[in-house]
Amino acid sequence: MFGFILRRIGMLIPTFIGVTLVAFFFIRLLPGDPILLLAGERGISAERYAELQHSFGFDKPVIMQYLDYVVGLFQGDFGMSMVTRRPVWDEFFTLFPATLELSFVAIIIAVFIGIPAGVIAAVKRGSMFDHTVMTGALVGYSMPIFWWALLAIIVFSGWLQWTPVSGRISVMYFFDPVTGFMLIDSLLSDQSGAFASTVSHLILPSCVLATIPMAVIARQTRSAMLEVLGEDYVRTAKAKGLTKLRIIGLHALRNALIPVVTTIGLQVGVLMAGAILTETIFSWPGIGKWMVDSISRRDYQVVQGGLLMIAMLVMTVNLVVDLLYGLINPRIRHN
Amino acid sequence: MTDTIETVSRQSTRAVLKEFWFYFSVNRGAVIGLFVFLALVLVAVFAPYLTPHDPNMQYRDVFLLPPSWMEGGHVDYLLGTDAVGRDILSRLIMGSRLSLFVGVIVVVIALTGGIILGVIAGYYGGKIDTVIMRIMDVILAFPSLLLALVLVALLGPGLINAMISIAIVLQPHFVRLTRAAVMAEREREYVVAARVAGAGPLRLMFLTILPNCTAPLIVQATLSFSNAILDAAALGFLGMGAQPPTPEWGTMLAEAREFILRAWWVVTFPGVSILITVLAINLIGDGLRDALDPKLKRS
Amino acid sequence: MSLLEIRNLTVEFDTATGPFRALKGVDYTVEKGEVLAIVGESGSGKSVAMLATMGLLPDTATVKADLMTFDGRDLQNLSSKERRNVIGKDISMIFQEPIASLNPCFTVGFQIGEVLKTHLGLQGKDVRNRTIELLKAVGIPQPEKRLSSFPHQMSGGQCQRVMIAMAIACQPKLLIADEPTTALDVTIQKQILDLLINIQSKSEMGLIMITHDMGVVAETADRVVVQYNGEQMEEAGVLELFESPKHPYTKALLSALPERAEGDRLPTVGDFAQAYSKEGGVAL
């Protein structure tokens, strides 16, 4: 098991190097002079140019620049935003909790609805429920998420007036962030109604974001369950006189969950992509919206640094999922 | 003698197609998807003849007209008009051309690149394989839409650049699939026999092994087709894909965004078009998966 | 009163190509402490009958019988709860692929313990001790260590012993063994068969041995039922069957045994097809 962990981490190193290379060359590949791009100034004097050239390290050979860049990364230097004049590292961690909160709630919704739906669809294969769930899932991941978000706003915020249109909390509440997670912070603040406001702001975007993962998880669970239910050991469980609930919920599900956990892990990457669109539409101040805004504002250091940090995040999550898989699959865990 | 061989091989191709159709048509959803998709292709091909109005013509006196069945609507503009008075139905019909075009081009690029890299990686193994797979891992380390967005930022906004970016982002799936299939087939007897008979590497890779790896590739191609349409629409929505006034469905949604509460039809219909197209393709993909690999037939 | 009595059992499967009759009216009787062998080739329906008795057939199967009683109780009209009290406790079954028949995600100790907890209501230390006893009884060395083993860490023979342990945990009145040794090494086969017979004779348990191997029948059975294509061909005591088989199919099966070979060529069952069809039975 320990060897498994080491090997998995080892495989990440070349990928990590590749990712840093992509980030490093990103600015240098943009049309235009990278120094001007990085400085964000239009028309600068020759001396200023030379100054910047030196401070950005462009007068050194490329390989040295790359190594400097990587060393900087390990010191937490991911660049500086031109717009806010703050380090990218700081900006990322200010905005990340918003995305994390949104994604976390979305994945919880997706798992707690998707898995039971898939299990029941498999057990009642061919029934009305099965067809409905599978069709619903198919529609779910065939929809453009940004359109679905707009539609949800039209219906729930516009016609029904149940939920607000944007933001994490009503503007009438203001308190200093403690954890960055609005659900926790609003509870900690003593302002009445803050928590309720948070929930009402969170519910629509997280449901929209949960749609695709929910659909994929439901389909995968059904698929895995169908396969497991045909296995010999399920027949043995029946022959032992166990209750149907125990056979399906313990013996079958435990095995079916093994591939499903991998799927759930992969959905985190999908969530990040979906968050870009969801955050943009709901004006949710997370890293998805940050990246989109930075690209249109040509804040290239943010794009470069943000891209790298997000990639590292996805790689870490994939690693955790891999390790988790090794943990729950007894064939790997026990020699 | 050669006649009989030819007739037999033609018959067997027909037999294979017949068997394939038998399994495919059992899936009602897949058949419905196929018909809808064919209808869409027809609409796209004959678009210029089907549009009631010029998609780019702005009718100054009918801004934000509701659909014809609603109060205030007009039968000339069946699905209503947008903020600058353009007929939505005409724009949707023209947009179908763009969406299908995007799907085809992206899949062709991703398939070609993916197959070549995958076959090389799977056939040669060793260092070449490692290098190619690591590059694919790097691409997969980034969330797909984000990477496509950054690539488009690099290349400049526009539909062509969007297509190239999406193709690059979807590439690794094809490479992995092809590589896995090639590695599985590489040691089979018919490959060894061909090698012993003197076939060179190129012939072995592309004429001997590859034709037997097509099933998963076809399924992945349909999946990528629908993903490409969705991603292109997303990029269009973010302003990085097709640029206005191009009637691409995602771009139409971007323009419509500020009117969602005032004029729901400007937002709803382009999205429904995307949904129907992608749904049809996904239904076909499901049917293909079941038909091409009946052993795996679980649903 | 017989331990198990089945009269006119028919089983029909709903398939894509129409209904398929796997069993066409078969009878079985097992007395207390008796070993019944059900023998036949693949497709004879020998497993189907016992799976139907245990209620393990899929929903596509329709099971009908004039009589299906176990220990005097009517098996056909039991509620699910009542059935769960019988299956796994008074009647148990072991299967052909031992490793696949155990759940890969749970330890041996857990899977045996489950039966003890569910049917006998044992708790805590009692479960552990009884499980170790059972593992010893089926001949597994170092049973304390085996409690935390997973099926993939053990051999086929060991897994089958675990299956047997699970099956006898509640001291059943009847044990059904569906081709228990077919998937095992020849050397292990004898060990498992000896184990089963040993357990059976010590506890006066009824044993139904489903097999296609006449050698196994000779070694273990008291009575034999010969089945072909969902119908019963012959039913007799084991000595009687081997010495004077009445049905041509039985004769064919016995003649195909290498031990009974005469002449240069080993006869096959097909050699007797003509003789059989002349007797007015189902064509072989």
**How confident is the model over B223-248, as pLDDT tens digits?**
999 999 999 999 999 989 888 888 89
- Check residue C267 and give its pLDDT: 65
Choose among A233, A243, A244: nearest Cβ to C103.
Answer: A233
- Check residue C15 and give its pLDDT: 82
Q: Which residues of C touch A258 (CB under 8 A)?
A: 105
Candidates C87, C97, C101, partner chain A, best to mutate (most A CBs within 10 A): C101
Q: How far apart are CA B237 and CA B251, in angstroms?
A: 5
A55 token code pair: 């401070």
What ipTM does the predicted assembly reach?
A: 0.87
Mean pLDDT to the nearest integer, A153-166: 84
Asked if residue C33 has pLDDT above 50, the reply is yes
Choose among B134, B267, B274: nearest Cβ to A18.
Answer: B134
How near does any CA of chain C get to the CA of A333, in Å? Answer: 10
Q: Which residue on chain B is closest to A226 by alpha carbon? A: B298
Query: Which residues are CB-contacts of B150 (< 8 A; sequence separation ≥ 6)?
Result: A26, A295, A303, A307, B142
Evaluated on CA atoms C103, C106, C107, C110, the torsion sign reads negative
pTM value is 0.86
Q: Do A144 and B260 touch (CB under 8 A)?
A: no
Reported as a pLDDT band with limits 50, 70 and 90, residue A43 is: low
Contact C129, C109 (CB under 8 A): no
Choose among B260, B270, B298: nearest Cβ to A154.
Answer: B260
Query: Which residues are CB-contacts of A190 (< 8 A; sequence separation ≥ 6)?
Result: none
- Check residue B2 and give its pLDDT: 60
Rg (CA), chain C: 20
Asked if residue C212 has pLDDT above 90, the reply is no
How near does any CA of chain B get to the CA of A199, in Å? Answer: 23
- pLDDT above 90 as % of chain C: 57
Choose among A22, A277, A303: nearest Cβ to B138.
Answer: A22
Number of other residues whose CB lies within 10 A of the CB of residue A15:
21
Mean pLDDT to the nearest integer, C49-72: 90
Q: Which residue on chain A is closest to B233 by alpha carbon? A: A144
Residue window 269-328, chain A: list those with CB within 8 Å of chain C.
Answer: 328
Q: Which of B63-72, B162-171, C174-183 has the lowest mean pLDDT?
A: B63-72
Q: Do A240 and C118 touch (CB under 8 A)?
A: yes
Three-state secondary-structure class, residue B96? helix
How near does any CA of chain B get to the CA of A253, in Å? Answer: 17
Mean pLDDT to the nearest integer, A16-21: 89
The overall average pLDDT reported for chain C is 87
Q: How far apart are CA B263 and CA B273, in angstroms?
A: 17
pLDDT by residue (tens digit) across B33-58? 999 999 999 999 998 888 888 888 88
Q: Which residue on chain A is closest to B148 by alpha carbon? A: A273
- pLDDT above 70 as % of chain A: 97
Reported as a pLDDT band with limits 50, 70 and 90, residue A335 is: low
- Check residue C281 and give its pLDDT: 47
Q: Which residues of A touch C93 (CB under 8 A)?
A: 239
- Check residue A45 and give its pLDDT: 74
Candidates A130, A147, A160, partner chain B, best to mutate (most B CBs within 10 A): A147
Q: Which of C162-171, C244-253, C274-283 has the lowest mean pLDDT?
A: C274-283
Reported as a pLDDT band with limits 50, 70 and 90, residue C104 is: very high
Query: Which residues are CB-contacts of C126 (< 8 A; sequence separation ≥ 6)?
Result: C116
- Check residue C280 and give its pLDDT: 44
Q: Which residue on chain C is closest to A230 by alpha carbon? A: C58
- Check residue C30 and give its pLDDT: 93
How near does any CA of chain C get to the CA of A242, in Å? Answer: 7
- Check residue B10 and give its pLDDT: 61
C27 token code pair: 């009878």
Mean pLDDT to the nearest integer, A267-286: 86
A21 alpha carbon, distance to own chain's centre? 22
- Nearest CA to C162 among C119, C129, C195? C195
The overall average pLDDT reported for chain A is 86
- pLDDT above 70 as % of chain B: 94
- Check residue B7 and give its pLDDT: 64
Q: Do B271 and A147 touch (CB under 8 A)?
A: yes
Q: Which residues of B touch A276 (CB under 8 A)?
A: 143, 145-146, 149, 238
Q: Do B282 and A311 touch (CB under 8 A)?
A: no
A90 touches chain C (CB under 8 A): no
